[in-house]
């Protein structure tokens, strides 16, 4: 091989070695520079558990909506409640139909949670526990949506933005609570003005009752139900 050919061959080998070295260095640098993804630790996930206090309040809730005191709730109870409230409120046929439709919708979504057939107290508590522990924020939002519609679209018969004492008494009677004196006592806890309470105030109290696990907070619904309403 001539000297020129040998030099060309040596230059080619040096160039190839240099290219390989540069590629290797770049790969190593890239590997070092790329951060290792963090592996979540148990501390990164907040585990929500329903405490004894909120479970106790759900038992009170069940007792409040078990209008026939049979230890179970069903679609027949919803129908009875809606029919009774409509009759006590002296609404026309069209408004009665609207009340029944909305009441059934709310119960199916937020009480029965898609389940058909009668539900006993144990099943009711377990269903709420599951929803609460799976996503507390979603549970709270659901209860707010439920009671916003309940008070604003159903109990506030004429959609005036407030609930009167008469409407409140009619509601409680429809739910099987006949002690009018105790019902009026509960209504007075809301500090009515001119015999009326803003619907939102009632909504807030029920959302607190159903979703707050803080026993240090004053809870007017809990207090009233414990008093025997």
Query: Per-residue pLDDT tens for 194-226?
Result: 999 999 999 999 999 999 999 999 999 999 999
Same domain, residue pair 56 and 150: yes
Q: Is residue 210 in some structural domain? A: yes
Same domain, residue pair 153 and 207: yes
Same domain, residue pair 104 and 210: yes
Q: Is residue 36 in some structural domain? A: no
Same domain, residue pair 74 and 121: yes
Nearest Cα neighbor of 120 from 158, 184, 72, 165 is 72
Of 7-11, 57-61, 100-104, 141-145, minimum mean pLDDT range? 7-11
Same domain, residue pair 58 and 120: yes
pLDDT grade for 117, boundaries at 50, 70 and 90: confident
Residue with tokens 């105790």: 182
Task: Please give the DSSP secondary-structure letter assigned to residue 193.
Answer: B
Same domain, residue pair 23 and 88: no
Same domain, residue pair 91 and 157: yes
Domain that holds residue 178: 52-226
Number of domains making up the chain: 2
Check which CATH number belongs to the domain holding 188 and give it: 1.10.238.10
pTM, two decimals, is: 0.77
Task: Quote the distance between the C-alpha of residue 111 and its chain's center.
Answer: 11
Same domain, residue pair 177 and 135: yes
Distance, CA of 131 to CA of 134 (rounded, Å) = 5
* Helices 199-211 and 52-65: angle between axes, nearest 10 degrees: 130
Q: Is residue 44 in some structural domain? A: no
Same domain, residue pair 151 and 69: yes
Task: Quote the distance between the C-alpha of residue 196 and its chain's center.
Answer: 27
């Amino acid at each position: 091989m001539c000297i020129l050919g040998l030099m060309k061959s040596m230059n080619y080998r040096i160039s190839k070695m240099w290219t390989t070295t540069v590629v290797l260095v770049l790969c190593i640098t890239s590997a070092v520079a790329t951060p290792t993804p963090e592996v979540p630790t148990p501390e990164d996930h907040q585990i929500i558990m329903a405490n004894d206090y909120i479970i106790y309040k759900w038992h009170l809730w069940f007792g409040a909506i078990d209008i026939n005191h049979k230890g179970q709730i069903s679609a027949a109870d919803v129908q009875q409640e809606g029919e009774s409230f409509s009759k006590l409120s002296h609404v026309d046929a069209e408004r009665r139909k609207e009340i029944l439709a909305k009441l059934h919708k709310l119960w199916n979504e937020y009480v029965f949670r898609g389940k058909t057939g009668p539900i006993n107290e144990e099943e009711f508590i377990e269903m709420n526990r599951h929803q609460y522990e799976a996503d507390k924020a979603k549970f709270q939002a659901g209860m707010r949506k439920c009671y916003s519609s309940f008070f604003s679209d159903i109990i506030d018969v004429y959609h005036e933005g407030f609930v009167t004492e008469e409407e409140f008494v009619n509601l409680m009677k429809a739910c099987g609570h006949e002690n009018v004196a105790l019902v009026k006592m509960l209504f007075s806890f809301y500090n009515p003005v001119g015999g009326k309470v803003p619907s939102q105030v009632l909504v807030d109290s029920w959302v607190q009752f159903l979703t707050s696990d803080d026993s240090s907070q004053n809870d007017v619904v809990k207090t009233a139900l414990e008093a025997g309403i």
